[in-house]
Amino acid sequence: MKEETFSLRVSVNDDNSYSCALKGHEDHRSPPVYAPKLLSVSASPSGEIVEGSSVNLTCSSDANPAAKYTWYKENDHKLPSQQPQLFFFSSIQPSESGEYYCTAENEMGRRSAHVFIDVKYAPKLLSVSVSPSGEIVEGSSVNLTCSSDANPAANYTWYKENQTLFQGPERVYHFSSISSEDRGNYYCKSENKHGQINSASLFLDVQYAPKLLSVSVSPSGEIVEGSSVNLTCSSDANPAANYTWYKENEDSPKASGQIFTITDLRPEHSGNYYCEAQNTRGRRNSTLNLTVVAGAWKSAAAGSITAVLLVLILLAVFLWIRRENSFTQQCKCGERPDNRAQLNVGPVCDTPSSAAQRQAAGQQDDLHYASICFSQNQGDVVYSNVRVHPQRETEEEEEEEEEDGVEYSAVRFNNASSAPGTRRQEDGNDSCALYSTVNNNKNTP
């Protein structure tokens, strides 16, 4: 039998299948040949593919002769495969997400099919950023951004010092006009159904000029001369403020620093003091009044001096009044009083002068001397001391019945307020002398 070969050229793009038979023997056709068809690619397990799981990609087709399979990932990147129809991931990663396709090829033609692999995973690579970068000044606009890699997309929660501020899909937390109260630590949380993660903390430093300025003095209460005090100035400022102390109406500063110490206080330290708090964002002033009082010993000394001065003034007035009264009494003493009622003009002492005593001794042996004192403080009471000469005491008793003796008494008025110099007038004409005649006649009742 002669063997013959026939050939047929067909397009590989059609879906036809071809077979051959001998003429007259059409019932005995050869098996059909055709290019790959009904090509499909599947992933196992089906459903969501989660990071770290194992995944099989399978490619199948109907082809005669049998097709040869090749795996590719996006951009015709050929992948090695240990099995013709199977591509295997032992622990799939998010980076392996993408479009995969396989080709089935035989002598009759070539076909391809693809599958998209979406690997799901919890948030990762979380970070927080602030804009604008650099120094943040109170009143400016600021954005905090939380970024993460997650599939499916994450929801974000913002915190300040463990206090929840905001929750939602937005990654940005916005300050339209940031204030000093917004200063602090911030962080965010990124979360989806596969897991969650917290970011590192971000410190938001808001700078502002000094405010809430106050001044105080220690110790408090009355400030006594000679003591020491501390003047303290405090404020809320960022960056920290520098402090300078001034005294009112003085141009040069008194001190620098938060505490100003004044030792050995004097009255001249009294006045208004103010401190100035200043940083790169501004300055502010606050005033304190300081009053220094005299010490206890000075107060006592001042009181003693005042009392002494008052006593001296009163004494001067008293002496002046006494002097005026004395002058008036001396003038009145120039007249002789006629009775005892007129003698009550002040302390009066009657003492005979030396000359009178000598004259009386020469003329009359029985002269009696009398000393009479008139007290101004006692109405009409008169004290009289009559002294009898000792040598004549007996003779007087004998001659008492026979002689009518006359006794002369010199009465002298002494003003207690008179100056010592005025007593020199006693030997002469004493303006206050009063003469009294005493009849010592026995027959006189």
Domain ranges across the chain: 34-117, 121-204, 208-293, 335-439
Q: Do domains 121-204 and 208-293 have the same CATH topology?
A: yes
What's the rounded Cα separation, in Å, for the pair 147 and 167? 14
Distance CA 141, CA 103 (A): 56
pLDDT value for 380: 45
- Percent share of the chain, pLDDT over 90: 45
Query: Could you give the 3-state DSSP secondary structure of residue 220?
Result: coil
pLDDT of residue 339 exceeding 60, the answer is: no
* CB neighbours of residue 415 within 10 Å: 21
Average pLDDT, the chain: 76
Q: Picking from 65-74, 125-134, 336-345, which range would have the lowest pLDDT averaged per residue?
A: 336-345
Confidence (pLDDT) at 277 = 97
Architecture of domain 208-293: Sandwich (2.60)
Q: What proportion of the chain, given as a percentage, has pLDDT over 70? A: 64
Architecture per CATH, 121-204: Sandwich (2.60)
pLDDT of residue 303: 62
Which of 110-124, 369-383, 389-403 tops mean pLDDT? 110-124
State the pLDDT confidence band at 325, using cuts at 50, 70 and 90.
confident
* Structure token digits, residue 292: 């220094």
Mean pLDDT value of segment 138-147: 95
- Indicate whether 361 pLDDT > 70: no
Say yes or no: domain 34-117 is CATH 3.40.30.10. no
Task: Please tell me the distance from the alpha carbon of residue 165 to that of residue 189, in angstroms, as a whole number.
Answer: 11
Name the pTM for this structure: 0.53
Q: How far apart are CA 22 and CA 318, in angstroms?
A: 176
| Placement of tokens 């005026």 in the chain | 324
Written as one letter, the residue type at 307 is A
**226 vs 348, more confident:** 226
Higher pLDDT: 335 or 261? It is 261
Q: Is the peptide bond before 80 cis (omega within 30 degrees of 0)?
A: no
CA-CA distance, 440 to 202, in Å (whole number)? 133
pLDDT score of 116: 93
Sign of CA dihedral 418, 420, 423, 425: negative
Backbone angles phi, psi at 298, to 5 degrees: -70, -35
Query: pLDDT tens, 276-310?
Result: 999 999 999 999 999 999 865 455 555 667 777 88
Cα distances (angstroms) measured from residue 319 to each of 41, 122, 323, 333, 375: 139, 113, 6, 21, 20
